[in-house]
């Protein structure tokens, strides 16, 4: 701080008051500590070299700035040859020796400087630094306290003392050192700021937050302090406060990408897609970076905001952010939302040379098949299989596409042919599932038992076996098989859901049924099929209003799942809402028209048509 700054304060105050009124002139109050500092024996002469040594001292400084510390030390020794009792030169030599790692020699030279001029502030500071590096922290503290007494309005000694306390894990003492600086120099911000940042890094969030808030009170626009406070509040679960700190930081630095991403993520966690879009739109406005676009879309997906993810990706596909990854992820989101035509179009944008080309082609074929465009799907799959004949996943997908096209027997033949090449467990499982949909349960059972014998630790064929046993009317066997899935994978959420649904369907232990389904939902929240099971438990218990609420949410999440739609229609019918019931059942029939393999049970379409007919005659539910 300049020596005349302390004297300028009373003058500024007088000028300010004079603008309001012109009182009788008074003698300004004397700041005695500033006067003592200005007139201390640490005269300007201490901080200079004599004329005889000046050239060497200047050259040493230039070498120091170039990082040539040994050369600087040599020049300082030459300077000391003609000016041996100069505390300034001894202090500079001590600094060079410190940088060279020669701590003993540095300490010796600095002690000489202090002995020659005990009130030389810079020598005390440098000696404290050397003692700190030599792990003589108690001695370092003594010299820093002496330096503070010499110049109580200079921040550096306070800050070094706080750092010493921090390294000794005496955080409260570090706080007191900074508070002493604030008392000596009101308005000084660096102490609170530096200590707050250091405490945050060292895992002391309470003291860090206290220090940083005090720093902000003095400098409200300190971006780093605001960011750190945002991070501390987020870790503490105070998300709204964290977002507010980032919003304040963005007022100072509105284009900071990391802060925009962080604020958008916090807004999503707080449930506000609108605020998140505002942050992310600013983030993406001036960039054509496709990776950033994908990252933002993934954040929306993790918040289960699929429409916003889709808007971000689709906007990039038509602009500067277009890339194979953007198109691929757009396809994934459209597929998740069962927008199969749009998904296929997005996958088609992925060029053949991309690392994503093979996956994009396979997924495009799946979506074309789901959209009813079976010949195109099969043509793509044939090309893919020709390139990768050992890919069992492609062969399974080919069989499913053939089955969706209405030729289930050919699908069985394709899977049997694939099994002739390689009897992989996943092929056996797909083969059994296809036979199950055809009602050939005995053959399906045999294929599944073979798959289990080949891979006894694989839960997947056991899961399908449970569904086959259920179709065969063997409820105890189905429950036993599904419980074996849980023994292999205790957190297998679909198995929990299956058992819970089956128990409720047969009126067996509603309490266990609900416990299992709720546990599945805890593992995979907002899963439509799990909510369907919970809604069906409410229905079976006679709690029809709760059944409607839960099943309506399930249908929102999986709008093209015929079982959920049928259950929703049943629940609406029970609460005397026949129009809503008919609408839900008709939607289920529309889905079954496009995807007959989704029927569960196999005659589901006939059963729903019967319900609609009874509803029209007023006989439903009797």
Q: Closest Cα to residue 475, out of 502, 447, 451?
A: 502
Instruction: State the number of CA atoms in the 13 A half-sphere of 40 facing the CB.
Output: 20
Token digits of residue 288: 């054509």
Q: What stretches of 337-407 show up as alpha helix (H) in DSSP?
A: 340-348, 357-370, 374-387, 392-404
Looking at residue 166, its pLDDT comes to 75
Token digits of residue 486: 């849980």
Check: CB of residue 189 under 8 Å from CB of residue 217.
Answer: no
7 has a pLDDT exceeding 90: no
Q: Closest Cα to residue 555, out of 536, 537, 568?
A: 568
CA 611 to chain centre: 48
Q: What stretches of 455-543 show up as alpha helix (H) in DSSP?
A: 459-471, 475-488, 493-505, 510-523, 528-541
Helix axes of 306-317 and 324-336: crossing angle, nearest 10 degrees: 150
pLDDT band at 594 (very low <50, low <70, confident <90, very high): confident
Question: Which region among 35-39, 59-63, 138-142, 501-505 has the lowest average model confidence (pLDDT)?
Answer: 35-39
| pTM, 2 dp | 0.54
CA distance 552 to 532: 9
Burial tier of 513 (Cβ tally within 10 Å: 0-12, 13-18, 19+): buried
Check: CB of residue 383 under 8 Å from CB of residue 374.
Answer: no
Check: CB of residue 493 under 8 Å from CB of residue 530.
Answer: yes
What domains are there in the chain, each with its CATH number? 5-37 (no CATH), 493-617 (1.25.40.10)
* Opening angle at CA 89, ends 88 and 90, nearest 5: 90
Number of neighbours of residue 576 by Cβ within 10 angstroms = 10
CA distance 588 to 565: 5
For the chain, what is the radius of gyration of the CA atoms? Answer: 38
Looking at residue 450, its pLDDT comes to 87
Concatenated DSSP letters of 138-162 = HHHHHHHHHHHHH-TT-HHHHHHHH
Token digits of residue 506: 């047969």
101 has a pLDDT exceeding 60: yes
Check: CB of residue 212 under 8 Å from CB of residue 192.
Answer: yes
Q: Closest Cα to residue 96, out of 126, 118, 135, 140?
A: 126
- pLDDT, tens digit, 9 for 90 and up, residues 225-242: 999 999 999 998 999 999
Q: Closest Cα to residue 291, out of 321, 319, 264, 269?
A: 321
Torsion sign over Cα 285, 291, 292, 293: positive
Mean pLDDT over the full length of the chain: 84
542 φ/ψ sector (left φ>0, alpha ψ -120 to 50, else beta)? left
pLDDT band at 319 (very low <50, low <70, confident <90, very high): low
CA distance 99 to 93: 10
Number of neighbours of residue 95 by Cβ within 10 angstroms = 23
Check: CB of residue 175 under 8 Å from CB of residue 211.
Answer: yes
CA 340 to chain centre: 29
- pLDDT, tens digit, 9 for 90 and up, residues 210-226: 888 888 888 888 898 99
- pLDDT, tens digit, 9 for 90 and up, residues 153-171: 888 887 878 787 777 788 8
For residues 462, 463, 467, 473, the Cα torsion angle rounded to the nearest 10 degrees is 50
Residue with tokens 């040599």: 74
Check: CB of residue 67 under 8 Å from CB of residue 57.
Answer: no
Concatenated DSSP letters of 440-480 = -HHHHHHHHHHHHHH-TT-HHHHHHHHHHHHHTT-HHHHHH
Of how many residues is the chain composed?
622
Cα→Cα distances 439→369, 447, 599, Å: 23, 14, 12
Check: CB of residue 571 under 8 Å from CB of residue 582.
Answer: no
Token digits of residue 465: 């076996």
- pLDDT, tens digit, 9 for 90 and up, residues 506-557: 888 899 999 999 999 999 988 899 999 999 999 999 999 999 999 999 998 8
CA distance 383 to 327: 21
Highest mean pLDDT, choosing among 40-49, 320-329, 573-582:
573-582
Instruction: State the number of CA atoms in the 13 A half-sphere of 131 facing the CB.
Output: 21
408 has a pLDDT exceeding 70: yes
pLDDT band at 570 (very low <50, low <70, confident <90, very high): very high
61 has a pLDDT exceeding 70: yes
- pLDDT, tens digit, 9 for 90 and up, residues 320-332: 657 888 899 889 8
Number of neighbours of residue 366 by Cβ within 10 angstroms = 22
Question: Which region among 101-110, 447-456, 589-598 has the lowest average model confidence (pLDDT)?
Answer: 589-598
Torsion sign over Cα 120, 122, 125, 131: negative
| Residue 467 backbone phi and psi in degrees, to 5 | -70, -35
Largest CA distance in the chain: 118
Looking at residue 348, its pLDDT comes to 92
Helix axes of 374-387 and 392-404: crossing angle, nearest 10 degrees: 160
49 has a pLDDT exceeding 70: no
Check: CB of residue 396 under 8 Å from CB of residue 414.
Answer: no
Q: Closest Cα to residue 291, out of 320, 265, 326?
A: 326
């Amino acid at each position: 701080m300049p020596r005349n700054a302390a004297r300028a304060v009373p003058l500024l105050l007088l000028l300010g008051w004079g603008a309001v009124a012109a009182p009788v002139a008074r003698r300004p109050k004397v700041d005695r500590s500033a006067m003592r500092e200005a007139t201390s024996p640490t005269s300007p002469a201490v901080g200079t070299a004599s004329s005889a040594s000046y050239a060497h001292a200047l050259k040493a400084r230039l070498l120091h700035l170039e990082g040539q510390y040994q050369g600087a030390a040599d020049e300082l020794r030459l300077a000391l040859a003609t000016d041996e009792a100069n505390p300034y030169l001894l202090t500079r030599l001590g600094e060079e020796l410190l940088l060279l790692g020669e701590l003993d020699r540095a300490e010796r030279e600095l002690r000489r400087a202090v002995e020659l001029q005990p009130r030389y502030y810079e020598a005390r500071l440098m000696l404290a630094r050397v003692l700190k590096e030599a792990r003589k922290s108690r001695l370092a503290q003594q010299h820093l306290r002496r330096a503070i007494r010499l110049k109580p309005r200079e921040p550096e000694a306070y800050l070094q003392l706080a750092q010493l306390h921090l390294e000794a894990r005496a955080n409260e003492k570090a706080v007191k050192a900074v508070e002493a600086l604030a008392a000596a120099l009101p308005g000084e911000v660096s102490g609170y700021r530096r200590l707050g940042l250091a405490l945050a890094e060292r895992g002391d969030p309470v003291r860090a937050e206290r220090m940083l808030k005090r720093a902000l009170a003095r400098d409200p626009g300190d971006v780093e302090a605001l960011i750190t406070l945002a991070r501390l509040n987020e870790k503490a679960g105070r998300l709204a406060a964290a977002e507010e700190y980032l919003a304040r930081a963005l007022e100072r630095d509105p284009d900071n990408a990391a802060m925009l991403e962080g604020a958008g993520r916090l807004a999503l966690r707080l449930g506000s897609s609108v605020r998140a879009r505002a942050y992310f739109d600013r983030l993406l406005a001036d960039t054509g970076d496709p990776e950033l676009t994908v990252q933002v879309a993934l954040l929306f997906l993790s918040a289960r905001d699929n429409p916003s993810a889709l808007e971000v990706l689709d906007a990039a596909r038509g602009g500067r952010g277009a890339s194979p990854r953007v198109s691929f992820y757009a396809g994934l989101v459209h597929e998740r939302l069962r927008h199969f035509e749009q998904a296929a179009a997005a996958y088609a944008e992925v060029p053949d040379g991309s690392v994503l080309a093979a996956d994009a082609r396979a997924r495009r074929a799946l979506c074309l098949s789901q959209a009813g465009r079976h010949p195109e799907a099969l043509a793509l799959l044939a090309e893919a299989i020709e390139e990768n004949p050992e890919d069992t996943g492609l062969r399974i997908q080919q069989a499913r596409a053939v089955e969706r096209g209405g030729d289930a027997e050919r699908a069985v033949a394709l899977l049997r042919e694939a099994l002739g090449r390689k009897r992989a467990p996943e092929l056996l499982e797909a083969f059994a599932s296809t036979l199950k949909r055809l009602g050939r349960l005995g053959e399906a059972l045999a294929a599944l038992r073979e798959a289990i014998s080949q891979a006894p630790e694989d839960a997947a064929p056991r899961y399908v076996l449970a569904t086959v046993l259920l179709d065969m009317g063997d409820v105890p066997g189905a429950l036993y098989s599904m419980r074996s899935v849980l023994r292999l994978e205790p957190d297998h959420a679909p198995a929990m859901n299956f058992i819970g649904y089956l128990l409720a369907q047969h009126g067996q232990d509603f309490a266990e049924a609900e416990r299992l389904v709720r546990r599945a939902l805890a593992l995979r929240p907002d899963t439509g099929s799990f909510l369907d099971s919970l809604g069906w438990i409410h229905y079976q218990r006679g709690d029809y209003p709760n059944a409607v609420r839960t099943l309506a949410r399930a249908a929102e999440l999986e709008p093209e799942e015929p079982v959920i739609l049928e259950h929703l229609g049943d629940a609406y019918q029970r609460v005397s809402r026949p129009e809503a019931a008919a609408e839900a059942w008709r939607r289920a029939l529309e889905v079954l028209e496009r995807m007959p393999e989704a029927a569960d049970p196999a005659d589901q379409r006939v059963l729903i048509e019967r319900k609609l007919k009874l509803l029209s005659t007023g006989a439903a539910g009797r």
